Amino acid sequence: MSPVLRPTGARRPLSRALAPLLATGLLAACSLLQRQAPVPVEERGIGAPAAPASAASAAASAAPGTLERAHARWVPAGFEELPGWGQDRVSELWPALRLSCAAGGAAAATPWASVCAQARQFFPADDAQARQWLEQRLKVYRLESLQGDAAGLMTGYFEPLVEASRRPTKSKRVPLYGPPADLAQRKPYWTRQELDTLPSAQAGLKGREIAWVEDPMDALLLQIQGSGRLRMTEADGSTRLIRLAFAAHNDQPYRSVGRWLIDQGELGATEANWPAIKDWARRNPRRINEALWQNPRTVFFREEPLPDPALGPKGAQGVPLTPGRSIAVDPLAIPYGTPVWLDTTEPLSARPLQRLVVAQDTGSAIVGAVRGDYFWGWGDEAEAQAGRMKQPLRAWVLWPR
């Protein structure tokens, strides 16, 4: 809801929208992650589409009180069923929950209107008080596919943080562009390779440079995620943080560089995560353009201020994403603004990741009932976690009583 990977949809509008997971986002061979609200992104994560199901057979096996959505079944459960419920710092959910309540969607409609009004006035003193408040007002449903499968997939995405310069320098020679002047006059627009090699294609980009970065893989990463942060060195030598947001793309199909590396025998199918892809590029500098040109899609950006560095980019719900408390979902399975309990693991340590989050984003690869994309935030740790995340998932939704 790539995230980030994507990304764009709202990511995208990030996903894209990542990062999807970056790693998995690069492997997915689908189109640009199309988020449904503010920030578009590329593909984030490997999709787990729900298989078609017979409505009659689904209804026959459903427990009393089960709710059905287009892509999911909600089965009545209880708080005692949530693994680790008593250990989560649930009071940390409130900033993300208030943002969703203010934005609308599920959190603005009855019966959420009353719960959101109370949430805005409630300031939990500790996690126990926050947990009690939730238990008194919300009930629990276990997420399942329409076929009754409660097992799913969790990937991750993040907001890239890249060193950049307002002017080209000896080390920073890779431009990031705003939309070309003639973008609307040519459909589809020039491919990535044509933009890199043809003077006639480059004419529309003249004067549209927003910033320059050192590594072409960082530029690709920003395009896959659909947004990112730049630590910008200005012309006067000063440095400040800005955000790049998705503005447009060239209407060319998205093709996965990771998939191409697998097909070339350069990486194994289980090795093609984002760190491995970047390592391949470091070892094969003369083949970077060959790899990049396999993806004809190019993303163009707009520059945005970053007044609060603690807030992430906007997701599909139209609210800033909160590291560790926002996820991208399939909105046909889980409405935006819905609290979701996760039971999964961290990719690097395999430690349990059991916590309450809010559904605030989506992505084209995020399809199906038990399917999530976890927003890790920004920085090296977020990149390392998101780039490797592909974990088993069980999930529950919390809904007003």
**Domain locations in the chain?**
22-47+159-302
CATH fold of 22-47+159-302 reads Ribosomal Protein L25; Chain P (2.40.240)
329 near 366, Cβ under 8 Å? yes
Positive or negative torsion for Cα 100, 104, 110, 116: positive
What are the distances in angstroms from CA 337 to CA 85, 177, 295, 359? 20, 33, 34, 5
Q: Give me the chain's average pLDDT, please.
A: 85
pLDDT one-digit tens code per residue, 342-372: 999 999 899 999 999 999 999 878 999 999 9
Of 314, 359, 300, 302, the residue nearest 334 (C-alpha): 359
- pLDDT tens, 118-170? 999 999 999 999 999 999 999 999 999 999 999 999 999 999 999 999 999 99
pLDDT band at 48 (very low <50, low <70, confident <90, very high): very low
CB-facing half-sphere around the CA of 164: CA atoms within 13 A: 27
Asked whether residue 39 carries a pLDDT value surpassing 80, the answer given is no
- The pLDDT tens digits for 57-88 are 444 456 789 999 999 999 999 999 999 999 99
Are the beta carbons of 96 and 103 closer than 8 angstroms?
Answer: no
Residue type, 292: L
Contact (CB, 8 A) for 256 and 46: no
Residue position matching structure tokens 């201020």: 305
